[in-house]
Amino acid sequence: MAAALALCSGALAQDQVQSWVDEDGIVHYTNDPSEIPARYRRTAKEAGKAELDVLPATPRSTRSASRTVEPAGGGSRDEAQGAEYWRGEFRRAREAIARIEEQIAKDEDLLANDRRNSFGHMAGGQHEFHLPGVKEARERLPELRRELDQAKDDLRRLELRAADADVPHSWR
């Protein structure tokens, strides 16, 4: 097995080996530039010796030595995720922020309308009349603001994870 790996790595090292990363974050290697999909040709680069030394042993085709290596073992879970995963994570994070902001706006509007339309105090100043839902909105707003701060922090952490995993901005 070790001999096969050495033979295969040696054969690949003799050719100019190119690597590229597809939209799912999977790294591909080939010594035949015609096998590189057109949309990845501009981003393909010559694979370094360190990359070639860790390629798994696979049978070499008679046409060319082409390999696909999915992130595993040494890479983080984030590095192994593709475009669909990252776009979904960012979409969910932004939707959560939008939902909370929408509820905050509704509650703030209700409180503002209540202040404008308040019936004031009855004689003696003991009874106040408010629009329906005002008490609940007042109680809900501080919690919603905490949730919004948390959701924004979650989005910032997601941005950092994506940056660490070299996620393209088009996936965010």
- Residue 29 pLDDT greater than 60, yes or no: yes
Confidence band, pLDDT 50/70/90 cuts, at residue 21 = confident
pTM of the model: 0.50
- Residue 84 pLDDT greater than 80, yes or no: yes
Long-range pairs of 8-14 with CB within 8 A, sequence gap ≥ 24:
8/55, 8/57, 8/58, 8/60, 8/65, 9/52, 9/53, 9/55, 11/60, 11/65, 12/52, 12/55, 12/65, 13/49, 13/52
Which tens digits make up the pLDDT trace of 95-147?
999 999 999 999 999 999 888 776 554 545 555 667 788 999 999 999 999 99
Which tens digits make up the pLDDT trace of 150-165?
999 999 999 999 998 8
